[in-house]
Amino acid sequence: MKKLLVLILFIGNVSKAQILPERERAAIIDQILADRFNNLLPQLMDQTGFDMWIVISREYNEDPVLRTMLPAKWLNARRRTILVFYRNKEKNTIEHLAVARYNVGKYIDSAWDKEKQPDQWKALMDIISEKDPEKIGINYSEHFGIVDGIVKTDYDEFIKELPDNYKSRVTAAEKLAIAWIETRTVQEMEMYKELVQITHNIIAEAFSIKVIKPGTTTTDDVVWWLRQKVTDIGLSTWFHPTVDIQRKDEKLESHIVSFSNRPNDKIIKQGDLIHCDFGITYLRLNTDCQQHAYILKNGEMTPPDFLIKAFSDGNRVQDIFTSNFETGKTGNEILLKSLEEGRAEGLKPAIYTHPLGLYGHSSGTTIGMWDSQEGVPVNGDYPLHENTVYAIELNTTVTIPDWNKDIRIMLEEAGFWGSQGFKYVNERQTELITIPKRK
């Protein structure tokens, strides 16, 4: 833990500090994996009732769950990689085994001697017979794509080789795999705050006169600046950013236009309300953030009052929504209650919040989709669990008489749900950014 904290101190403000070198990133990744394998995984297996979890992948066709388990030096699986986690609750032990020719990093030991047993599948069956588990989980799921990782050929071969007396003990590891993907540890949350700060800092730089020259700079110029900035500082992004404009003399487009079929090379002008959707990947975690900026007209010191009020309406929808988080509530319950309360206050909200963490659009509690405001079947029925992170993604439509039109305030920030309730991972936008900056 102490080493982790020392390394994190170097992250800081991206404009003032270096992103960690690859060797130090690898040390953090492996340290966190050790904590997750040794401390988190036994809890999750006990909670979901599995005493054996088998994860099977082949090189370049990795199970998304297995990708999160590979050590920092393994960029892919090798040949066919089979991981076996065996939990003995009575002895309070957990074994991390690999039916592979070599150890998978420091924390998963090779359990296959090919010279003694040439057949990899038979070697796996020997382990199963030796441990004699009561409930075996493998990764398949009809509705949660990230945890549907076993391919048909591996599944068929596994079932064919499995002794008959174990076939009835095999079931989908859906709940266990989702829990592994969605649950954040204390160490991960220490890093997550820094990741969000880096994301905010990059947006602040993009939404400044350093990047935007009104009347000249286009939305695509800003989009590609964001992409290049992430590359230049040695990071990556998990989706292509977007930047869009709302202005007085143009009608409000469908919500989807902000993310698809968006006009290219639209010139940013004074008086525009601009919006971005942007996120980064770093230390195997992901951010997802949407913020707004206003391009000041000559003589203006602040945005117009009607835009300030509209933005506060967006914050109000966030407050209503996050106040309804409660462990055990389903995503659909939280969604419908929040929409009802927002509409009762005269707001026009839409909520489409997704789990965030090891993947950008991750597995866990889905709270609305932009085109499913009445609830999301199955994924929206999944209950809220503690120690999880969400992209608090939503919008509210506001009528602006001064512009004789509606506008849409679209916000997104990383939020954490834990035993102490809800909190933003690293604050949220509460005021419009101004270009140029006035304070």
What pLDDT digit, counting tens, does each position of 332-355 carry? 999 999 999 999 999 999 999 999
Preceding peptide of 118 cis, ω within 30°: no
Average of per-residue pLDDT across 395-416: 97
Lowest mean pLDDT among 112-121, 290-299, 410-419: 112-121
Q: Indicate the pLDDT class of residue 15, thresholds 50, 70 and 90.
A: very low
Residue 263 pLDDT > 70: no
> What is residue 262's predicted lDDT score, i.e. its pLDDT?
60
Distance in angstroms (rounded) separating the CA atoms of residues 109 and 100: 9
- Torsion on CA atoms 15, 18, 19, 25, rounded to nearest 10: -160
Q: Are 275 and 219 in contact (CB under 8 A)?
A: no
Per-residue pLDDT tens digits for 62-112: 889 999 999 888 777 778 899 999 999 889 999 999 898 888 778 888 877
The sign of the torsion formed by the CA atoms of 41, 43, 45, 47 equals negative
Q: Dihedral, CA atoms, 138, 142, 148, 152, nearest 10 degrees?
A: 80
Q: Could you tell me the pTM of the whole model?
A: 0.92
Convert the pLDDT of each residue in 178-225 to its tens digit. 999 999 999 999 999 999 999 999 999 999 999 999 999 999 999 999
Q: What is the mean pLDDT of the chain?
A: 91
pLDDT band for position 18 (cuts 50, 70, 90): low
- Selected residue with higher pLDDT from 255 and 105: 105
Does 364 score more than 70 pLDDT? yes
Cβ–Cβ < 8 Å for 229, 198: no
β-bridge partners, 435: 295
pLDDT value at residue 13: 45
DSSP secondary structure code for residue 169 in this structure: T
pLDDT of residue 168: 95
Task: Write out pLDDT tens, residues 302-332.
Answer: 999 999 999 999 999 999 999 999 999 999 9
* Cβ contacts of 350-354, under 8 Å, gap ≥ 24: 350/255, 350/394, 350/395, 350/396, 350/397, 351/317, 351/321, 351/393, 351/394, 352/393, 352/394, 353/321, 353/390, 353/391, 353/392, 353/393, 353/394, 354/390, 354/391, 354/393
pLDDT confidence of residue 2: 45
Q: Tell me what the mean pLDDT of segment 136-155 comes to.
A: 94
| For residue 16, pLDDT beyond 70 | no
- Residue 342's pLDDT is what? 98
Instruction: Please report, for residues 42, 427, 430, the alpha-carbon distance to residue 47 in angstroms, rounded to integers and kept in the order given.
Output: 9, 32, 39
